[in-house]
Amino acid sequence: MTATRAFVIILVTAVCTLITRLVPFMLFGRKKEMPKAVNYLGAILPPAIMATLVVYCLKGADLFSPTHGIPELSATILTALLHAWKRNVLLSIAAGTFCYMLLVQVVF
């Protein structure tokens, strides 16, 4: 990949990101009330996305393998408990990932 092509890819990505960040502010500016549909989506989408990600992450867990899905289940439980306790997404995800990798690489 040439430097010019890399620059163009970065530029297009930056412009698209900027547009997606600015459009909501342009549509629902300062004193406009949010439509009910947008409020509903804002409330329902985060839990739905999280549930989808959990299912996607656990779809490959094999309960009949020698580990019986213990690393996946342990990391998932740790992530959920830590998030319920600290309410810190970054901490929860990092700890769950660390737990899973430790169990897969060292224990099992």
Per-residue pLDDT of the chain (108 residues; tens, 9 = 90+): 899 999 999 999 999 999 999 988 888 877 778 889 988 998 999 889 989 988 998 998 888 888 899 999 999 999 999 999 999 989 999 999 999 999 999 998
What is the gyration radius of the CA atoms in the chain, in angstroms?
20
What pLDDT score does 67 carry?
85
The answer to whether the beta carbons of residues 103 and 70 sit under 8 Å apart is yes
pTM: 0.64
What pLDDT score does 41 carry?
92
What pLDDT score does 45 carry?
94
